[in-house]
Structure 1
């Protein structure tokens, strides 16, 4: 899991959220968003919503700087846990 501190808080069900916790994605998460058949941006929003356990419309309210931090975290999940050189 990775915590991302938000620059701009978002509201979910009237509660201000200043930090999101993303769990590591699994293959089933990737398959679930692929089944949506939408464009890549919408698939990414759906994946983030699923990993952070928040509604998709909350992801859409994120500041772009915060969204970029989350995208960076997603990319980090794709790297090996124990890289070998």
Structure 2
């Protein structure tokens, strides 16, 4: 299976769903967080409150960055350094949460 093919859950092969509903996303370029290169980010399943709080941060992209950073338990500033190819993967994971 290539990295872009979907699994039985409908997720691309670069996203793994945990038993708790979390999603782990393999990154192509990786991201530096606190001086360490990270090649996978894990996102807990969001609650409605997560969505509402992120919308208070701002519109569209700012709210999405705030939500993703919160779910991955990293700072929004760290997330803003991510390469677009990897950010697109995070958006796929986020869209999966929305069903």
Unaligned runs of 5+ in 1: 80-85
Task: Measure the CA separation in 2 of the matches of 1:10 and 1:75.
Answer: 21
Select 2:73's aligned residue among 50, 53, 58: 53
Q: Report the Cα offset of residue 63 of structure 1.
A: 1.0
- The 5-angstrom pairing of residues 3-82 of structure 1 reads 3-36=24-57, 38-79=58-99
State the number of aligned residues. 78
Unaligned runs of 5+ in 2: 1-21
Normalized against structure 1, the TM-score is what? 0.87
The DSSP-based 3-state class of the residue aligned with 1:3 is strand
Q: Report the Cα offset of residue 58 of structure 1.
A: 1.3
Task: Measure the CA separation in 2 of the matches of 1:13 and 1:73.
Answer: 23
Alpha carbon RMSD of aligned pairs, Å?
Answer: 0.8
Task: Measure the CA separation in 2 of the matches of 1:76 and 1:27.
Answer: 15
Looking at both structures, which has the greater relative contact order when contacts are Cα pairs under 8 Å and sequence separation is at least 6?
1
Which runs of 4 or more aligned residues in structure 1 lie more than 6 Å from their structure 2 counterparts after TM superposition? none
By percentage of residues, which structure has more helix?
1
Contact 2:30–2:86, Cα closer than 8 Å, also in 1: no
